[in-house]
Amino acid sequence: MLQYSRTMENQSSPDEKARNPITNKAYRREAFWQITLPFIVGLIIFLSLAVTISLGTMGETSMWADISVIWLILIMLLPGLVLLILLVGLVYGVTWLFVRTPEYALQLQNIFELITWRVKQNANKVVEPMLRFKGSWAGLKSIFRR
Protein backbone atom coordinates (compact mmCIF):
# COMPACT_ATOMS: atom_id res chain seq x y z
CA MET A 1 0.00 0.00 0.00
CA LEU A 2 2.87 2.32 0.80
CA GLN A 3 4.33 1.74 -2.65
CA TYR A 4 0.99 2.57 -4.27
CA SER A 5 0.76 5.91 -2.48
CA ARG A 6 4.31 6.78 -3.56
CA THR A 7 3.46 6.20 -7.19
CA MET A 8 0.35 8.33 -6.81
CA GLU A 9 2.42 11.20 -5.36
CA ASN A 10 4.77 11.17 -8.33
CA GLN A 11 1.94 11.52 -10.83
CA SER A 12 0.74 15.01 -11.62
CA SER A 13 -2.93 15.84 -11.62
CA PRO A 14 -4.61 17.02 -14.84
CA ASP A 15 -4.79 20.58 -13.46
CA GLU A 16 -1.03 20.72 -12.97
CA LYS A 17 -0.21 19.73 -16.56
CA ALA A 18 0.92 22.47 -18.88
CA ARG A 19 -1.87 23.68 -21.15
CA ASN A 20 -1.52 23.98 -24.87
CA PRO A 21 -0.83 27.71 -25.46
CA ILE A 22 -2.52 27.77 -28.87
CA THR A 23 -5.81 26.28 -27.69
CA ASN A 24 -5.68 28.28 -24.46
CA LYS A 25 -5.34 31.53 -26.44
CA ALA A 26 -8.22 30.53 -28.74
CA TYR A 27 -10.36 29.67 -25.71
CA ARG A 28 -9.70 33.04 -24.06
CA ARG A 29 -10.50 34.88 -27.30
CA GLU A 30 -13.78 32.98 -27.74
CA ALA A 31 -14.71 33.52 -24.08
CA PHE A 32 -14.18 37.27 -24.47
CA TRP A 33 -16.26 37.56 -27.65
CA GLN A 34 -19.02 35.15 -26.56
CA ILE A 35 -19.35 35.95 -22.83
CA THR A 36 -17.56 39.08 -21.64
CA LEU A 37 -18.34 41.49 -24.49
CA PRO A 38 -22.09 40.68 -24.72
CA PHE A 39 -22.37 41.02 -20.94
CA ILE A 40 -20.72 44.46 -20.95
CA VAL A 41 -22.83 45.66 -23.92
CA GLY A 42 -26.04 44.42 -22.25
CA LEU A 43 -25.08 46.11 -18.99
CA ILE A 44 -24.43 49.43 -20.77
CA ILE A 45 -27.76 49.20 -22.64
CA PHE A 46 -29.64 48.36 -19.41
CA LEU A 47 -28.07 51.23 -17.47
CA SER A 48 -28.68 53.73 -20.27
CA LEU A 49 -32.36 52.67 -20.53
CA ALA A 50 -32.76 52.94 -16.76
CA VAL A 51 -31.30 56.47 -16.74
CA THR A 52 -33.40 57.51 -19.75
CA ILE A 53 -36.62 56.22 -18.24
CA SER A 54 -35.99 57.76 -14.84
CA LEU A 55 -35.03 61.17 -16.26
CA GLY A 56 -37.53 61.30 -19.11
CA THR A 57 -40.70 60.76 -17.08
CA MET A 58 -40.15 63.10 -14.16
CA GLY A 59 -42.47 65.90 -15.19
CA GLU A 60 -44.95 63.91 -17.29
CA THR A 61 -46.50 61.65 -14.68
CA SER A 62 -49.65 62.77 -12.98
CA MET A 63 -50.43 62.74 -9.31
CA TRP A 64 -53.17 60.10 -9.70
CA ALA A 65 -50.80 57.72 -11.51
CA ASP A 66 -48.35 58.02 -8.64
CA ILE A 67 -51.09 57.37 -6.09
CA SER A 68 -52.35 54.32 -7.96
CA VAL A 69 -48.84 52.90 -8.23
CA ILE A 70 -48.38 53.39 -4.48
CA TRP A 71 -51.63 51.53 -3.79
CA LEU A 72 -50.67 48.70 -6.13
CA ILE A 73 -47.33 48.37 -4.41
CA LEU A 74 -48.96 48.39 -0.97
CA ILE A 75 -51.43 45.70 -2.02
CA MET A 76 -48.56 43.52 -3.18
CA LEU A 77 -46.53 44.20 -0.04
CA LEU A 78 -49.19 42.87 2.35
CA PRO A 79 -48.86 39.18 1.38
CA GLY A 80 -45.10 39.58 1.37
CA LEU A 81 -45.22 41.09 4.85
CA VAL A 82 -47.39 38.24 6.11
CA LEU A 83 -45.00 35.69 4.62
CA LEU A 84 -42.02 37.53 6.11
CA ILE A 85 -43.61 37.48 9.58
CA LEU A 86 -44.40 33.79 9.15
CA LEU A 87 -40.83 33.08 8.08
CA VAL A 88 -39.38 35.00 11.03
CA GLY A 89 -41.69 33.09 13.38
CA LEU A 90 -40.66 29.76 11.90
CA VAL A 91 -36.97 30.62 12.18
CA TYR A 92 -37.46 31.67 15.80
CA GLY A 93 -39.43 28.50 16.55
CA VAL A 94 -36.88 26.19 14.98
CA THR A 95 -34.06 27.97 16.81
CA TRP A 96 -35.94 27.65 20.10
CA LEU A 97 -36.59 23.99 19.37
CA PHE A 98 -32.93 23.27 18.62
CA VAL A 99 -31.86 24.96 21.84
CA ARG A 100 -34.45 23.18 24.01
CA THR A 101 -34.39 19.73 22.36
CA PRO A 102 -31.32 18.32 24.18
CA GLU A 103 -32.73 19.23 27.61
CA TYR A 104 -36.15 17.70 26.94
CA ALA A 105 -34.64 14.71 25.16
CA LEU A 106 -32.50 13.98 28.24
CA GLN A 107 -35.56 14.22 30.49
CA LEU A 108 -37.49 11.89 28.19
CA GLN A 109 -34.60 9.45 28.09
CA ASN A 110 -34.41 9.44 31.89
CA ILE A 111 -38.15 8.76 32.12
CA PHE A 112 -37.85 5.80 29.74
CA GLU A 113 -34.86 4.45 31.68
CA LEU A 114 -36.92 4.64 34.89
CA ILE A 115 -39.84 2.88 33.20
CA THR A 116 -37.50 0.17 31.89
CA TRP A 117 -35.96 -0.33 35.34
CA ARG A 118 -39.39 -0.57 37.01
CA VAL A 119 -40.69 -3.04 34.40
CA LYS A 120 -37.62 -5.28 34.87
CA GLN A 121 -37.94 -5.04 38.65
CA ASN A 122 -41.63 -6.00 38.58
CA ALA A 123 -41.00 -8.77 36.04
CA ASN A 124 -38.34 -10.24 38.34
CA LYS A 125 -40.78 -10.12 41.28
CA VAL A 126 -43.43 -11.92 39.25
CA VAL A 127 -41.04 -14.67 38.10
CA GLU A 128 -39.25 -15.12 41.45
CA PRO A 129 -41.76 -17.59 43.04
CA MET A 130 -41.69 -19.81 39.98
CA LEU A 131 -37.89 -19.77 39.89
CA ARG A 132 -37.75 -20.74 43.59
CA PHE A 133 -40.20 -23.56 43.00
CA LYS A 134 -38.31 -24.86 39.94
CA GLY A 135 -34.99 -24.57 41.82
CA SER A 136 -36.34 -26.48 44.80
CA TRP A 137 -37.86 -29.10 42.52
CA ALA A 138 -34.54 -29.51 40.68
CA GLY A 139 -32.74 -29.87 44.04
CA LEU A 140 -35.17 -32.53 45.20
CA LYS A 141 -34.79 -34.40 41.91
CA SER A 142 -31.01 -34.40 42.21
CA ILE A 143 -31.21 -35.74 45.78
CA PHE A 144 -33.49 -38.63 44.80
CA ARG A 145 -31.37 -39.57 41.76
CA ARG A 146 -28.40 -40.40 43.93
The percent of residues in the chain predicted with pLDDT above 90, rounded, is 39
CA-to-CA distance for 90 and 121, rounded, in angstroms? 44
Instruction: State mean pLDDT over 113-122.
Output: 96
CA-to-CA distance for 5 and 2, rounded, in angstroms? 5
pLDDT over 70 (residue 16): no
pTM comes to 0.34
